[in-house]
Amino acid sequence: MTSPTRGQAGFTLLEIMVAIAILSMTLVVLLSIVTNNVRATNHAKMTTAATLLARTKMVDIEDYILDNGFSENTETANGTFKELGYPQFSWEYTIERIDLPADLAQQGRDKATDQSLDAKDPMSMLTGFMGGMMSSFIEPVRLGLQESVRKVTVTIYWDEHGRREQSFEVVQYLTDPAKLDATMGTGAAGTGTGGSTGATGTGGSTGATNPLNALQGLIH
């Protein structure tokens, strides 16, 4: 009796095990790719939500400062966005004075004096003299900026699956022109706030549009 050929005998146990191993490794790689894509999409969605919530909180702080004015001391507060329907996000803000070096005027005078002493022509001497005169205006400007500018930092915190303790920070500088005028002796009236973009995140003055409208359906 003749033995069956290889085609008739089918696959051996070893061949089946190798095929299963290859299939398993392929599925693991594909699953890892899909999982990373889902996490990246969720992270982008949460970061976008955090950006809009930070903008909302910055608008609230601007309104608070317009109503109460600047404080002489650093103000801090924290909380969550539970009342807005986003309990997974929490916030923290700091309103602090801008402390400028107290020796700016003296540094300017010293530099102007050195330029005058080292000058070899009348124009250089005149430049040094004018620099010395201008340095006398530095101190009022320094005091005016410290009284009329506040640094506002808003930080949003949240957790993600596989990425714990995520945060997003916005820095903005608010100004009160009335305080600057009063400090420098101009006596002008009126108050207001202005903003500039911070080094981290986004900042700036905000309009009347409520940023929460852009959050509808984003993370639900």
Question: Contact at 8 Å (CB) between 150 and 95?
Answer: yes
pLDDT digits 0-9 by tens, 170-179: 999 988 877 7
Domain-embedded: residue 108: no
Domain-embedded: residue 69: yes
Handedness of CA 126, 127, 132, 134 (dihedral sign): positive
pTM of the model: 0.59
Encoded amino acid at 164, one letter: R
Q: Which domain holds residue 40?
A: 13-102+139-206
CA distance 15 to 145: 79
13, pLDDT greater than 60: yes
Name the residue with tokens 């005091």: 143
Domain-embedded: residue 107: no
Encoded amino acid at 166, one letter: Q
Domain-embedded: residue 202: yes
pLDDT digits 0-9 by tens, 44-63: 999 999 999 999 999 999 99
Domain-embedded: residue 134: no
Question: For residue 129, with 0-12 CB atoms within 10 Å meaning exposed, 13-18 middle and 19 or more buried, which class applies?
Answer: middle
Nearest to 93 by CA among 152, 41, 180: 152
Backbone angles phi, psi at 88, to 5 degrees: -75, -10
The domain tally of the chain equals 1
